Structure 1
Amino acid sequence: MKKSVFAILRLCVIVGVLLVALDALDKSKGKFNLPSRFEKVIVDLSEKARNNELLFTNALDVPSKVEFMLQSDAEGEKEVKIVSEAEILGLKSREANFKVGKFTGNSSISAAFIMGKGSYSVYLTSEKKSGEIAIGHQESAVEISEFERLLKIHKGDLNNPPKGYVEIYSTDLAGRSSNEEVIYTLQLDKNKEIGLSVYTSAKQGIVSVDFSGENVHYIGLVHSEHNRICDQLQTTLPAGEYQIKLTCENADGQLYVFLKE
């Protein structure tokens, strides 16, 4: 069944990759509509072929949230790789890879990462072809106490929710086999703002958690391969029934789900 995202993620340490509608766009940049708050690097792909070519390196003096938005007017896939000196919270390794197709106008590939102090570098692999690729990036400092909380989660101490969040589900994943199993049902009798935080320490197998209801679908809030931390996803939901679903197979580690109402 085809599913779509109809709400906006406030912060999900991801990091999974989203195709999003962009708000507050800088309309003066033509084919590339990246928000004005982003620094931009635009590469002319027709100049030459590139194989893991370093585009730029930035230093982070403190732990930071680093946001990326990627667009391209060129056909075919281009690979953008991000490599961090420090750990990227929620990821297995210190690098993330994006396959960038043709995204212009009001679409982009978007991601946000929490990185420790140190530098990160961005690399590009692409054939020589007509067109460009635009890479928007922004860094913002994270409070030390918040970074330390997320670092504990990253290292496997999952029972560290934000203030105001209550545990609604936890389980050991070893030996468990589930396919979109409903692990929690939320019933709302009126419009309400809620917050969700979902963490897993799984390092092998398949683990994925979805949140869905009528016209509201969040797919892969956490995933063993892409992002193990989804922190403080906040959204306003209309009255109705909503379900949190777990899919897992051959996984290890644990899963914790927290809710704020």
Structure 2
Amino acid sequence: MMLVVESLSAHYGLFGAVRDVSFEVQEGDFFGILGSNGAGKTTILRAIAGLHPPAVTGSITFRGKDLLKAPPHARAALGIGLVPEGRRMFSSLSVRESLLLGAYRRGKAWQVRNLDRVLATFPELAERLEQATGSLSGGQQQMVAFGRALMCEPSLLLLDEPSLGLAPVVVQRIFALLKELHASTGLTMILVEQNAVEAFPLLTRGAVIERGRIALDGTRAELEASPVVAQAYLGADGA
């Protein structure tokens, strides 16, 4: 297993956003965490990335290493990349500067090599390297967010609501890019997403979270066979 989460609980003050969550992610998985708004999906990703407040208990193990007390930069150095909800761009920075932020702790040769690799994945950005990130469309900014995370050569990529705020045609394009990236590189991914209809075909395995707890987990086929998943997340009648 690449990632093992056991009995994870996370609190904002007295509010328990996530309670006793456990799941495992295998090398090469495209693992989805599905659920309604406020179910606790983003909290789980933030806990894995080290961005959650200190009120986190349980166990998070990445390739045998205990992450619970590791700071965010140490987790990134181990190979965990994050594409945050809402993209979180510095709008005044150029596309080049924004991408290089993902590898600012690395040497020049690393940055050049990975910048070329990211631009090969997102050739549209190569034409806009000196353009201010804030002037890009929402879809282009999402590409920058993906590229910034890929600059550190992650072995695990965390994706938090990548379709948020994007037009339907752009959403389809973003998911097509993710499908191609996973197929071509085998990169392990954890996707948090409300748009289950678009996300579901990409997944190898996943979990459904409701009110801060895992309600169901398994392979894509096992989730798809659940009447609850079919009705609540995939728009089927559940019959």
Look at both structures and tell me which one has the larger radius of gyration over its CA atoms: 1
Larger fraction in helix: 2
TM-score greater than 0.5 by the shorter chain: no
Q: In which range does the TM-score fall when normalised by the shorter chain?
A: under 0.3
Larger fraction in strand: 1
TM-score (norm 2): 0.27
TM-score (norm 1): 0.25
